[in-house]
Amino acid sequence: TLFRSALKALVNFSDYQIFNELIKGREDNSFYKNCVSQMLRMVMEEGCTTQKLVLVYLGERFRVKLNLPDWYSDEQAAEVLLHHCICIHLTSNIEKFYCLCLITRKLFAFAKEECSEENPDSLINHEVLTSGQLYLMF
């Protein structure tokens, strides 16, 4: 639920714009399009039709775990969640949105065995994993 809601909470895009970004490069794949439609439909069924409502929804559910003061509104609690817990290496919400869309496309490609898993020893991951983390993986 967090992932589906996070996309809508990060940007003030319509569902159609979010859908188009998620299916980019896979416009002919009906299975993938159906999965994305279902994800967006589940957010709508929770009553989250606008960015503000999604922020309130997330804030209500994660307020307790964030240990925030009582005077924070649900929207502010959700903003703290998005800032400190989602793609913390990125600064703007639009960058986080596009990163999550890319991750979604890559996850579906991996699940359908259209790509291989990334090598943790790859140069692209050296920035992400410290030597201790790499050591613990093997």
Q: What is the DSSP letter of 124?
A: G
HSE (side-chain half, CA atoms, 13 Å) at 51: 13
pLDDT number for residue 133: 66
Give the model confidence (pLDDT) of 8-64 as tens digits: 899 999 889 999 999 998 888 888 899 889 988 888 888 888 889 999 999 888 888
33: tokens are 């399009």
Tell me the average pLDDT of the chain: 84
Q: How far apart are the C-alpha atoms of 65 and 123, rounded to whole Å?
A: 35
